[in-house]
Chain A
């Protein structure tokens, strides 16, 4: 039986997926901070991958040893989405520190675009706003459901948006309306990114942020196209790394 681990050491979360004979058998998600290396070691142990070859990806991919290699998140994401949603033509991923749009052809990267050096349109933006609004991320959907009318936000910059949000709250704007405005802001930014690669359907959306249904809805509205979200959107990149690892080990 062939076994392989894909380890995605991201800026917010570290994800590990164990595959056996090409099938995912277990996935683990841990917080990366405060010690990314420790999180990586624990993730591999918890996923039951001791002794199996490990292919790393993500911002922290070079800090884990021993690894059989490392690969960019873009390449891993393309391989992962092909495994969970075969035939996907475009995948949009909102990660902790960046967002990306990838055109995929048979599990390989045909083209990609990433956000520039700015936290707008990333998970970090939503984390920062969660702190300002005092609404934990898992509660975003329920807060939003109670007050659906979005207030338009002019700032996409995380720092300026924070100032703007504080101003809105001081004028007693409902938290849900501010939140809806924030989602629209992130979605607009990411949709612009997706347009750079000329998004072809079917379009999939991944990354931890996609666990939030309101985010998916906002992004779908901004793109004007339906989105398919795999069952566990946060571990798709790690799964892709595991599949590539198994393929390399076999080669």
Chain B
């Protein structure tokens, strides 16, 4: 069934991230502007103007994984933000208002760049941050739709991208030049393609890579997309994983069943969950969360139109039908025996309609699914016992035993 040993490339990840943090600080010190950017923001425009991006969503996930989320979220609640708001927002707010961060100091923004293609909350969250730091607020409005985006949507987004490109260049003391955008978009496209191939290696039986690995390895595709070092990292990872797939090295020893995951990871319980799956012999072979970055289709021949299309077309900018289609594709492509829908208290847009998704998906694929209730980052809304209570019978149902 294949042996198991850690993925070698993983050892390079902490240094890659540390260097990124160090570089951001140096860049800030030598006068390069820093932009706080949403995970679905058109970062390529910033990079082309020499602006350093920083991702508050990633930062909140790091705070959660490092165990300091609760105190930061409580700070937001003390300041009268509801406990029902996104935990990433509350954690980030707690961090930038108190200065507490595991990254050695808050990297203050010179501008913020927001797209509502992932949710409506980010628009308010980044407005709060922009007000706090008294910096410009750049916004990309992407119309939410059940159907694929229209040419009108693309044209509307493109107009805004032109504005964002000019404004961000002006803040950086430059003039926007579309030609300078091309290499960034090319590398971003290549990185996305490589990331997609990395994820595809999990279709091998046994899977050499699981979503628990992807949750960790996704950091560069989110925060360093378009850079040479991110591309080099994924190429190395891909080569190693292809080798492991060929040699039959399993990510989960004695893989007995395979499952697909929907929604953001549960960071406060990441390790315990990984172990729960491993002990049961269940490989989490694909997920819609890290998969979202593989779905970004970029086009260097007409970079602005390509970016407009790509950022309108992200998974969370579409409704339940599209999410169900995406999951159906993953269940089939990765030969999954079942699926897990994380009902994420924080992320309403991602969790809306999951009971309908569960029924439709089961009917379409013929495999069962389970819904687990938790939160991506707030440990007060995560109970590992409660999650196991649902996963154990589900694992038994799909042919694994814990």
Binds B, one of A32-40, A109-117, A142-150, A172-180: A109-117
Docked CA distance A110–B370 (Å): 12
Docked CA distance A109–B394 (Å): 9
Residues A73 and B393 in contact in the complex (CB < 8 Å), given A117-B373, A117-B386, A196-B355: yes
Point out the residues of chain A lying under 8 angstroms from B393, CB to CB: 72-75, 109, 112
Say whether A168 faces chain B, with CB atoms less than 8 Å apart.
Answer: no
**Residues 83-132 (chain A) with a chain B CB within 8 angstroms:** 98, 108-112, 114, 116-117
Docked CA distance A116–B374 (Å): 10
The answer to whether A111 and B368 touch across the interface, beta carbons within 8 angstroms, is yes
> Quick one: closest B residue to A100, CB to CB?
B393
**Residues 317-370 (chain B) with a chain A CB within 8 angstroms:** 355, 362, 368, 370
Min Cβ gap B212→A in Å is 22
Say whether B155 faces chain A, with CB atoms less than 8 Å apart.
Answer: no
The answer to whether A74 and B386 touch across the interface, beta carbons within 8 angstroms, is no
The answer to whether B390 and A114 touch across the interface, beta carbons within 8 angstroms, is yes
The answer to whether A98 and B396 touch across the interface, beta carbons within 8 angstroms, is no
Point out the residues of chain B lying under 8 angstroms from A112, CB to CB: 370, 393-394, 397
Looking at chain A's contact residues, is the secondary structure mostly helix, strand, loop, or mixed? Answer: mixed
Docked CA distance A72–B390 (Å): 9
For chain A, the count of residues having a C-beta within 8 Å of the partner chain is 16
Write the B376-402 contact mask toward A (1 if CB under 8 angstroms, else 0). 000000010010011011101100010
Contact of B389 among A71, A98, A111 (CB under 8 A): A98
Min Cβ gap B272→A in Å is 15
Point out the residues of chain B lying under 8 angstroms from A98, CB to CB: 389
**Residues 157-198 (chain A) with a chain B CB within 8 angstroms:** 196
Point out the residues of chain A lying under 8 angstroms from B383, CB to CB: 117
Contact of A71 among B355, B362, B373, B396 (CB under 8 A): B396
Min Cβ gap B387→A in Å is 10
Min Cβ gap B203→A in Å is 26
Write the B8-23 contact mask toward A (1 if CB under 8 angstroms, else 0). 0000000000000000
Residues A72 and B396 in contact in the complex (CB < 8 Å), given A98-B389, A114-B390, A196-B355: yes
Point out the residues of chain A lying under 8 angstroms from B370, CB to CB: 112
Min Cβ gap B395→A in Å is 8
The answer to whether A75 and B386 touch across the interface, beta carbons within 8 angstroms, is no
**Residues 21-57 (chain A) with a chain B CB within 8 angstroms:** none
> Quick one: closest B residue to A102, CB to CB?
B393
Point out the residues of chain B lying under 8 angstroms from A196, CB to CB: 355
> Quick one: closest B residue to A69, CB to CB?
B401
> Quick one: closest B residue to A108, CB to CB?
B397
Point out the residues of chain B lying under 8 angstroms from A110, CB to CB: 368, 397
Write the B127-138 contact mask toward A (1 if CB under 8 angstroms, else 0). 000000000000
Apart from the given pairs A109-B396, A114-B390, 20 other A-B contacts in the complex at a CB distance below 8 Å? A69-B401, A71-B396, A72-B389, A72-B393, A73-B393, A74-B393, A74-B396, A74-B397, A75-B393, A75-B396, A98-B389, A108-B397, A109-B393, A110-B397, A111-B368, A112-B393, A112-B397, A114-B389, A116-B373, A117-B386
